[in-house]
Amino acid sequence: MRIISWNCQGAFRNKTEPVLQCKPDILVIQECENAEKIVFPDTQPTDVYWYSDGGKKGIGLFSFSDYRFTLKNEFESKFRYIIPVEVSSSGQSFTLMAVWAMNNKENRLARYIGQVWLAIQHYEHLLEESVILIGDLNSNKIWDYKDRVGNHSDVVKKLETFNICSLYHLLYNQPQGGEKHPTLFMNRKIERPYHVDYCFASSDFIEKVNSFQIGSFTEWSKYSDHCPLIIDFKL
């Protein structure tokens, strides 16, 4: 199973070809326009789930395999783009939490990583299951000093209590806040690199990771300020 997560920076209908060349089984796209506007050139998705809370952009989930998506009954819209979806195939299933951490103009303490912190409290019982939390968290330990209801380190520690770990940090033996591989180049400038996109997975998935790749600035900066995460699991 290959999962790709990518903040496409909008207009995904013009950017499908490069990401499809990576042959995803499951594609998670942040800043994704309404899926009805997207026409794939050759390979058509077998299932699509798109969510927006009223804006022109949201999160798009696309299956290019026999995986199917069902929104979990526990979904709470106040957390905006932390979307819990059941992914099922051939009698097997797991929970996928697709993330695009957003601003919160009404409560500044609950924006970005604060939003993720509140969401994982609400969805805590789902963390006991087979789960992958993936996407653009707009966060890094280097910003822990900012006032939030919960900071980046709080989220990491909370997930670790459920044996849910960041695959990048585990596989590359990197510390939180000291990542050598950026996922975001602010304003598409190579001199402004940050690591803000993550894939956290429960222990059963950790045992089955085959590879973890991050797209390069050279290849992806023509499309977006973010580079995709490409994760292969032996299922």
**193 has which bridge partners?**
185
Where does the chain show beta strands of DSSP type E? Answer: 2-7, 26-33, 47-51, 57-63, 68-71, 82-89, 92-100, 131-136, 164-166, 184-185, 193-194, 197-202, 209-214, 229-233
CATH number of the domain enclosing 227 = 3.60.10.10
Supply 88's token pair.
């099922």
Task: Output the pTM of the full model.
Answer: 0.96
The domain in which residue 18 lies consists of 2-233
Structure confidence by residue, pLDDT tens digits, 44-63 = 999 999 999 887 899 999 99
Q: Which residue has the tokens 């300020």?
A: 225
Number of domains the chain contains: 1
Q: How many helices (H) and strands (E) does the chain have?
A: 6, 14
Structure confidence by residue, pLDDT tens digits, 140-182 = 999 999 999 999 999 999 999 999 999 999 999 999 999 999 9
Give 173's contacts (C-beta < 8 A, 6+ positions apart).
none
Q: Rounded mean pLDDT of 63-77? A: 96
Structure confidence by residue, pLDDT tens digits, 113-134 = 999 999 999 999 999 999 999 9
How many Å from the N-terminal Cα to the C-terminal Cα in the chain? 6
C-alpha angle with apex 145: 82 to 148, nearest 5 degrees? Answer: 40
